[in-house]
């Protein structure tokens, strides 16, 4: 992955072949996702399309056609993403319950210097750190699962691809770059959202453009060697079964 991947990912929404209707629809769906989960699922399905677009180095945003298929794909991917974050949530909830702490206390504990005022034990602190590590691991695996599901469009076929991606050291830099883009985009959306006039629309626009850039970058940067490795393994297994 190099600078040209960043350039292509950010330029895709403004590409000459990109339909203005697609851009407007994307912003409207993003705004709707702030209020309804269905729009959020649709947006997750669009992320899968963007990842495929990035893999194929397309020159225009994919359109919002075949909505039913997009919702199905979004539901499938959303279920996997939630499942991968359950360990982190489970650890955090268990630690807080054992300490009798509330969610507000967890937020307050985000500042290291306030731990002493909360009277949290070493067990609780270690548990929260473990939850944070589990969240990071879940996020990394979520990126691998997103690419695998987008490319294979099947639970069964995506598992070996996701495993190969997660084990590829070059994928770490890709996920780090995507995380940086997401962080910058969310910060920009937060700043736009604070504006008294047109802030919501600007925040929605920034969020959609960030989604496009991050998903496209994920698709472009994710190594395709994982796909080839899985294909070779399947061919080897098929040959072995055939010879037997």
Q: What is the pLDDT of residues 179-194, one digit of tens each?
A: 999 999 999 999 999 9
Integer angstrom CA distances of residue 11 from 31, 161, 208: 21, 28, 13
CB 218 within 8 A of CB 143: yes
Residues 6+ apart with CB under 8 A from 34: 204
Structure tokens that stand for 3 in this block: 């600078």
Residue of 6 and 64 predicted with greater confidence? 64
Q: What is the pLDDT of residues 39-58, one digit of tens each?
A: 999 999 999 999 998 877 77
Q: How far apart are CA 229 and CA 64, in angstroms?
A: 32
Q: What is the mean pLDDT of the chain?
A: 83
């Amino acid at each position: 992955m190099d600078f040209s991947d960043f350039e292509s990912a950010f330029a895709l929404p403004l590409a000459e072949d990109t339909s203005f209707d697609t851009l407007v629809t994307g912003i409207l769906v993003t705004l709707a996702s702030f209020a309804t989960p269905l729009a959020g699922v649709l947006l997750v399905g669009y992320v899968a399309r963007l990842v495929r677009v990035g893999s194929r180095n397309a020159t225009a945003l994919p359109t919002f056609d075949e909505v039913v298929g997009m919702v199905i794909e979004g539901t499938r991917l959303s279920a996997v993403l939630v499942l991968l974050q359950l360990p982190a949530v489970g650890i955090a909830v268990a630690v807080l319950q054992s300490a009798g702490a509330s969610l507000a206390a967890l937020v307050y504990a985000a500042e290291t210097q306030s731990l002493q005022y909360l009277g949290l034990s070493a067990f609780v602190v270690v548990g929260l750190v473990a939850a944070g590590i589990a969240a990071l691991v879940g996020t990394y695996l979520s990126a691998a699962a997103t690419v695998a599901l987008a490319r294979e469009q099947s639970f069964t076929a995506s598992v070996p691809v996701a495993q190969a991606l997660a084990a590829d050291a070059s994928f770490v830099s890709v996920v780090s770059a995507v995380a940086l883009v997401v962080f910058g985009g969310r910060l920009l959306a937060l700043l736009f959202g604070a504006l008294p006039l047109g802030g919501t629309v600007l925040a929605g626009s920034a969020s959609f453009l960030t989604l496009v850039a991050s998903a496209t970058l994920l698709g472009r940067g994710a190594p395709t060697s994982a796909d080839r490795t899985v294909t070779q393994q399947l061919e080897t297994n098929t040959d072995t079964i055939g010879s037997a």
